[in-house]
């Protein structure tokens, strides 16, 4: 049940408002004292505040500023008996979710209240997802290279110019793109992901960049209006599509797009541009804000943290008793070259957790997991022959 705080010096209005909201299954607390309201907000959790603009002792606008300072995510709907356009604009500018006239349409009040609460829930959901992803990245970032990546994520969302994320396959480029999106002002808008290496990305890019005024989207493809367009493996785009991206995102006096561009590549775009195999204007547009993700072999000090994180995740997923890894097994992981990077490490640890029946993963389980990965999943390693795989299985069974 949602909990509402109503602050107004008009006791008749508070009584009517309370009856209306209780009928709609809200719980309501009321006060005509602005200072008591601040104490209530410290003591209890509310989903929305309804606040009068004019009250004795302290005006609603100054109270709005104070509440937003102390409870930034709490939506506040301002209500005024003498509403003016200027007052309403000032309230919205100071952070009010909406501005309504007292004695106006009650349905509008209920709709605004519903939207305000949903907005707060979306904020909480976004924060939870971001914190989970950021924590996952942060917990596994002992290396100076990854600490630098975290600093760049925080810095690049303050000015949402195009961002390039580079790194080998499996280093986590899509996760970083999602973190950038969730931390930005575009977080409540679409995150449209397009793999440029797939067949015919033209229709997807056109649908993503189409403005709302260009007609209804009947293709089933997702537009990115107001959100983020993530072009994965942008180096695979045709010259024509590269030119289209430049035309849309290059800054000019007539540009009015509201889409944030994040691109990723496992290729050296600087070299491709110097060889006239990648649009130099597009490269210059992207390279000013560049996040490079190091290969796992370049950040081996992060491997123990990554392994612990994956063990916890997959032990819970598969309801296994595994809680750690033997030192010799960890040594094998540290000495593995990891051509598929963190993606490969995660798959190997997942298999080891599945195979393990004990609390500690052993070297045998790691060797078996590595053999299975190389044989069935690796795109970069030469696969073992069947005899070699059977030999590994037999050794592990001993």
- What pLDDT is stored for residue 127 in this prediction? 77
Q: Which two tokens stand for residue 206?
A: 């056109």
Tens of pLDDT, residue by residue over 179-219, are: 899 888 888 788 899 999 887 788 888 888 875 544 444 44
Number of neighbours of residue 275 by Cβ within 10 angstroms: 9
As a whole number of angstroms, the distance between CA 174 and CA 188 comes to 18
Closest CA to 291 of 151, 106, 97: 151
SS3 label, residue 263: strand
Which range (103-107, 220-224, 314-318) has the least confidence? 220-224
Which range (176-185, 259-268, 324-333, 377-386) has the least confidence? 377-386
CATH fold, domain 297-397, is Helicase, Ruva Protein; domain 3 (1.10.8)
- Helix boundaries (H) for the chain: 11-23, 34-43, 60-70, 85-93, 106-139, 144-156, 173-183, 202-209, 239-249, 269-274, 280-287, 303-317, 327-335, 341-355, 363-376, 386-397
Q: Spell out the domain ranges in the chain.
A: 3-123, 140-294, 297-397
As a whole number of angstroms, the distance between CA 350 and CA 369 comes to 8
Residues 6+ apart with CB under 8 A from 279: 239, 242, 243, 246, 273
SS3 label, residue 281: helix
- What pLDDT is stored for residue 217 in this prediction? 45
Helix (H) or strand (E) holding 163: strand 163-166
Tens of pLDDT, residue by residue over 89-146, are: 888 888 899 998 887 778 889 999 999 999 888 888 877 777 777 766 766 778 899 9
Q: 194 - beta bridge partners?
A: 231
The sign of the dihedral angle between the CA atoms of 241, 202, 180, 347 is negative
As a whole number of angstroms, the distance between CA 193 and CA 202 comes to 13
Confidence of residue 257 (pLDDT cuts 50, 70, 90): low
- Stronger pLDDT, 104 or 310, i.e. the higher one: 310
Same fold, 3-123 and 140-294: yes
Q: For the domain with range 3-123, which CATH number is right: 1.10.1740.10, 3.30.565.10, 3.30.1860.10, 3.40.50.2300?
A: 3.40.50.2300
SS3 label, residue 229: strand
Q: How open is the CA angle 126-131-132, to the nearest 5 degrees?
A: 100
Number of neighbours of residue 139 by Cβ within 10 angstroms: 13
Closest CA to 99 of 86, 31, 36: 86
Tens of pLDDT, residue by residue over 62-83, are: 889 899 988 988 999 998 876 6
Question: Is the confidence at residue 300, as pLDDT, over 70?
Answer: yes
Question: Is the confidence at residue 378, as pLDDT, over 50?
Answer: yes
Please say whether the beta carbons of 294 and 167 come within 8 A. Answer: yes
- Helix boundaries (H) for 44-201: 60-70, 85-93, 106-139, 144-156, 173-183
- What pLDDT is stored for residue 215 in this prediction? 41
As a whole number of angstroms, the distance between CA 140 and CA 3 comes to 39
Q: Which two tokens stand for residue 255?
A: 């540009």
With tokens 């195979």, the residue in question is: 355
Backbone angles phi, psi at 57, to 5 degrees: 95, -40
Please state the separation of Cα 173 from the chain's center in Å: 13
**Residue 396: left if φ>0, alpha if ψ -120 to 50, beta else—which one?**
alpha
Assigned architecture for domain 140-294: 3-Layer(aba) Sandwich (3.40)
Longest dimension (CA), the chain: 87
Helix 341-355, helix 327-335: angle, nearest 10:
150
As a whole number of angstroms, the distance between CA 309 and CA 337 comes to 20
Percent of the chain at pLDDT exceeding 70 = 87
């Amino acid at each position: 049940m949602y909990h509402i705080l109503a602050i107004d010096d008009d006791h008749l209005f508070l009584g009517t408002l309370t009856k209306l909201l209780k009928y709609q299954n809200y719980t309501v607390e009321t006060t005509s004292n602005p200072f008591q309201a601040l104490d209530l907000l410290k003591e209890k959790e509310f989903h929305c505040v309804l606040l009068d603009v004019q009250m004795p002792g302290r005006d609603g606008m100054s109270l709005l500023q104070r509440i937003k300072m102390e409870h930034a995510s709490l939506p506040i709907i301002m209500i005024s008996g003498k509403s003016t356009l200027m007052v309403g604009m000032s309230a919205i500018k100071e952070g009010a979710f909406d501005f309504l006239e007292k004695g106006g349409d009650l349905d509008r009040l209920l709709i605004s209240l519903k939207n305000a609460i949903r907005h707060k829930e979306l904020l909480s959901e976004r924060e939870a997802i971001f914190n989970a992803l950021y924590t996952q990245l942060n917990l596994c970032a002992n290396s100076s290279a990854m600490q630098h990546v975290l600093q760049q994520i925080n810095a690049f969302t303050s000015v949402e110019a195009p961002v390039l994320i580079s790194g080998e396959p499996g280093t986590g480029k899509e996760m970083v793109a999602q973190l950038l999106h969730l931390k930005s002002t575009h977080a409540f808008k679409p995150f449209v992901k397009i793999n440029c290496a797939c067949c015919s990305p033209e229709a997807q890019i056109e649908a993503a960049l189409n403005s709302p005024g260009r007609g209804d989207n009947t293709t089933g493809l997702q537009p990115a209006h107001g959100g983020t367009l993530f072009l994965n493996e942008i180096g695979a785009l045709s010259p024509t599509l590269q030119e289209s991206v430049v035309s849309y995102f290059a800054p000019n006096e007539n540009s009015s797009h509201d889409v944030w561009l994040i691109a990723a590549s496992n290729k050296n775009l600087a070299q491709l541009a110097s060889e006239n195999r990648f649009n130099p204007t597009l490269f210059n547009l992207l390279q000013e804000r560049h996040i490079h993700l190091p290969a796992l072999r370049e950040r081996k000090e992060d491997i123990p943290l990554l392994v612990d994180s994956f063990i916890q995740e997959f032990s819970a997923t598969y309801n296994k008793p595994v809680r750690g890894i033997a030192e010799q097994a960890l040594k094998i992981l540290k000495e593995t070259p990891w051509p598929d990077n963190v993606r490969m490490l995660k798959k190997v640890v997942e298999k080891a957790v599945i195979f393990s029946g004990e609390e500690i993963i052993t070297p045998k389980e790691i060797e078996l997991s590595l053999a299975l990965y190389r044989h069935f999943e690796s795109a970069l390693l030469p696969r073992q022959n069947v005899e070699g795989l059977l030999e590994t299985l037999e050794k592990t069974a001993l």
